Amino acid sequence: MLAGRNGSGKSTLLRVLSTLLRPDRGELRLLGFDARRDAEEVRRRTALLGHRTFFYEPLTALENLGLWARLLGREATPASLTARLAEVDLAERARDPVSSFSAGMRQRLALARVLLKDAELVLLDEPYGHLDPPGFRLVDGILERLRARGRTVLMATHLLARGREICDRALLLEAGRLAFSGPARDLAEGALAGGAEGAA
């Protein structure tokens, strides 16, 4: 779990780890690779769920996922893509345009796109954002399945209680600096004092 108040650097750190941003200085090694020199290799093994979804609005959920699958060289049959949509409870809306989707449905579709990549390192920036309670449970289930498959997940969240419950370790950022690193259960309840514990 990656925690911190708004503006503490969580999203920036995830973008650096995904190689979307290049660090100004220092050394960054991920999955055994130098992320500066071997950025393409790191990118192939990493998936990022960011704040912006970047879908083609007029296309259906199935078509959007199909485009991504072909870019990744993954199977892109309607049956295989519908199975991915079923993982995020969107199979019944597979042929609806994304322009008709709510913010929560777009978040679910973005999660399906992340799962499609089957990355070794999964970076999730506020995955519970825009979701209702069933959506929260869906994300919990996704995290458990990723863990069972041996994937490494780094999740930025304001939901400390939930993070302590499902995450092994926690990092706390304050003004871009590491203020805590240790077992998630040891991260204090009031670590975001002055922030919104339940903000999405």
HSE (side-chain half, CA atoms, 13 Å) at 157 = 27
CA distances (Å), origin 87, targets 81, 84, 114, 142, 184: 10, 5, 12, 8, 27
d(CA 165, CA 77): 37
Element (H, E) at 67: helix 61-72
Which residue has 């069972």 as its token pair?
148
* 18 in Cβ contact with 49 (< 8 Å): no
* 65 in Cβ contact with 112 (< 8 Å): yes
pLDDT at 24: 86
pLDDT at 38: 95
Helix axes 61-72, 103-117, angle to 10 degrees: 20
Extract the residue ranges of the chain whose pLDDT is less than 70: 194-200
- The yes or no reply on domain 6-156 and CATH 3.40.50.300 is yes
d(CA 9, CA 31): 22
d(CA 198, CA 192): 10
Q: What is the pLDDT of residues 102-135, one digit of tens each?
A: 999 999 999 999 999 999 999 999 999 999 999 9
pLDDT at 196: 37
Element (H, E) at 49: strand 46-49
**Position 115, amino acid:** L
pLDDT at 9: 95
pTM of the shown model: 0.91
Q: Which sequence spans correspond to the domains of the chain? A: 6-156
